[in-house]
Amino acid sequence: MPETALGDSHIHLLGALGSIGFVHAEDLYEFGLDLLVRHLGVDRAMVASVTARGLESLWCAEDGARTRPLPHDPNLSFCAQVVREPVAALVIEDAAADPAWADHPAFLTLGIRAYLGAALRFSAGPIGVLSVQSRTARTWQPSDVALVHAVAALFGKAMEVEALKVELDQAREVMDLTAAVMEDHALENPRTGLPTRRYLEVWCKSHLLLARRRREVIALATWIQPAKSERAQILARLAGSLRGVDLLVDLGRDRFLLVLPRTLRAGAETVLERLRPIIGPRPMGATLWNPLLNPDREADTLQPAIRRAQSADPGGQGTGEVVWALLEPSRENILGEADQW
């Protein structure tokens, strides 16, 4: 059903939403969902957000009562379909009479018979779903669809602003943490002057959180650099040739690790090709840390990825070949269909 013009009563509702200055996004959700329930005469209005683990409830108004969390799992509702096709609103007037929805758990398990949902959109894709639901069949007017679209756009902007605030706070925490760690010489190897495994653990606590949130891949490469007279100069040149976001770590026992945030395999190969003349013809093991695949998805550190890279590195002298050990998507380690957003 295409979007259309808003009716006078719908415009009045949007005016009520816009006339109030909300301190927190949750206040906007609370007030807006209450208005939708009363204005449209539905049983429930809800907002769900898209996360790495699927849809998670944010707020719900049901029969005039506010609840958080929601009384049911939004992944079982029709919201997952809205995420898969976020451009148009999903309009269901009677799931019981529609073969496309009669067997859906939203109807069979949750009792949702009439549904109207629109995606909360952002440049990177859908970030949430606004829906109104009824336990009885009903006819949605074109102006109802337009209203839900308009409120979804308002909620989407609020959610986008909140997400940017979170990222800004996390970036500040990363900077403060990095500054504090750099002042702690115990996290620096005295022989090479490079960060140690302990530093890497602290680094992971903040950086992996951001990488998971943004679904960013991290490339890793590891090799053995024996303690010879020229090693200090090699490491100094190497550190000076890295990008600002890259991290060179001394893992101990002559083994070193290069961490390349926000870098896919092609980009990592370009970086390594540029660094090879400095490192010398030494075999290297490489991999990608992927926040969407296990075991990387569940790990709090880069350790599973480091083990993969080390398993691909034969060690010692060699021709300087870079051997990649990558996770292959499978039913066991990939996220579910709804989690792909």
Angle 142-182/8-18 helices, nearest 10 degrees? 20
Q: Give the model's pLDDT for residue 94.
A: 97
pLDDT in tens, 47-105: 988 877 788 887 888 865 555 545 578 888 999 999 988 888 999 999 999 999 999 99
Q: 């949902």: which residue's tokens?
A: 117
Q: How confident is the model at residue 337 (pLDDT cuts 50, 70, 90)?
A: very low
Please check the confidence at residue 40 and state whether its pLDDT lies above 70. yes
**Domain check: are 30 and 134 in the same one?**
yes
Number of domains in the chain: 2
First to last CA, the chain: 24
| Tokens found for residue 101 | 């929805």
Do 203 and 139 reside in the same domain of the chain?
Answer: no
**pLDDT of 165-191, one tens digit each?**
777 766 776 676 666 655 665 688 888
* CATH number (domain holding residue 298): 3.30.70.270
pLDDT of residue 257: 97
Percent of the chain scored above 90 by pLDDT? 39
- Domain containing residue 154: CATH number: 3.30.450.40
177 in a structural domain: no
Q: How far apart (Å, rounded) are the C-alpha atoms in residues 119 and 55?
A: 12
Tell me which DSSP letter residue 297 carries.
T
- pLDDT at 112 (0 to 100): 94
Taking alpha carbons only, the member of 173, 211, 166 closest to residue 25 is 166
Question: Lowest-confidence range among 163-167, 239-243, 286-290, 336-340?
Answer: 336-340
Is 29 in contact with 155 (CB distance < 8 Å)? yes
Based on the fold, state whether residues 44 and 133 are members of the same structural domain. Answer: yes
pLDDT greater at residue 24 or residue 53: 53
Last residue of a domain, one of 166, 192, 213: 166
| pLDDT above 70 for 20 | no
Rounded-to-integer distance, Cα 296 and Cα 307, Å: 11
Residues 28 and 129 in one domain: yes
pLDDT of res. 339: 37
In a domain, 175, yes or no: no
**pLDDT for res 329:** 79
Confirm whether 279 is domain-assigned.
yes
Least-confidence region, from 11-20, 36-45, 51-60, 134-143 = 11-20
Q: Is residue 171 part of a domain?
A: no
* Residues 245 and 124 both lie in one domain: no
112, 78 Cβ separation under 8 angstroms: yes
The per-residue pLDDT for 213 is: 78
What residues does 57 pair with on adjacent strands?
Answer: 48
pLDDT tens, residue by residue, 117-159: 999 876 667 888 999 999 999 999 998 998 998 889 888 888 7
Parent domain of 52: 8-166
* Residue 102: predicted pLDDT: 95
Distance CA 217, CA 191 (A): 31
Which whole-number Å values give the CA distances from 287 to 145, 222, 321, in the listed order? 47, 9, 14
Cis peptide before 69, with omega less than 30 degrees from 0? yes
Q: What mean pLDDT do residues 244-266 have?
A: 93
Q: Do 89 and 194 reside in the same domain of the chain?
A: no
Residue 218 pairs in a beta bridge with 289
| Residue 90 resides in a domain | yes
Sheet bearing 255-260, strands edge to edge: 247-252, 255-260, 218-224, 284-289, 322-324
109: left (phi over 0), alpha (psi -120 to 50) or beta: alpha
Query: What does the pLDDT read at residue 185?
Result: 56
- Among candidate residues 166, 201, 222, the one where a domain is terminated: 166
Q: What share of the chain has pLDDT > 70, as a percent?
A: 79
220 neighbors 287 (Cβ within 8 angstroms): yes
What stretches of the chain show up as alpha helix (H) in DSSP? Answer: 8-18, 25-40, 79-84, 105-108, 142-182, 197-214, 231-240, 265-279, 303-312
Burial class of residue 95 in the structure, from the number of CB atoms within 10 Å of its CB (0-12 exposed, 13-18 middle, 19+ buried): buried
256 in a structural domain? yes
Distance between CA atoms of residues 41 and 296, nearest Å: 46
Query: How confident is the model at residue 286, as a pLDDT?
Result: 96
d(CA 306, CA 292): 17
Q: Which of 137, 166, 195 lies at the terminal end of a domain, its last residue?
A: 166
Q: Is the bond preceding 295 in cis, omega lying within 30 degrees of 0? A: yes
Nearest to 141 by CA among 6, 318, 304, 299: 6
Predicted TM-score (pTM) of the model is 0.49
**How far apart are alpha carbons 217 and 296 in whole angstroms?**
10
Position 172 in a domain: no
pLDDT digits (tens, 9 = 90+) for 199-232: 898 899 888 988 887 789 999 999 999 988 799 9
Residue 332: inside a domain: yes
User: Which of 7, 254, 313 has its CA nearest to residue 141?
Assistant: 7
**Nearest Cα residue to 278 out of 239, 317, 323, 222:** 239
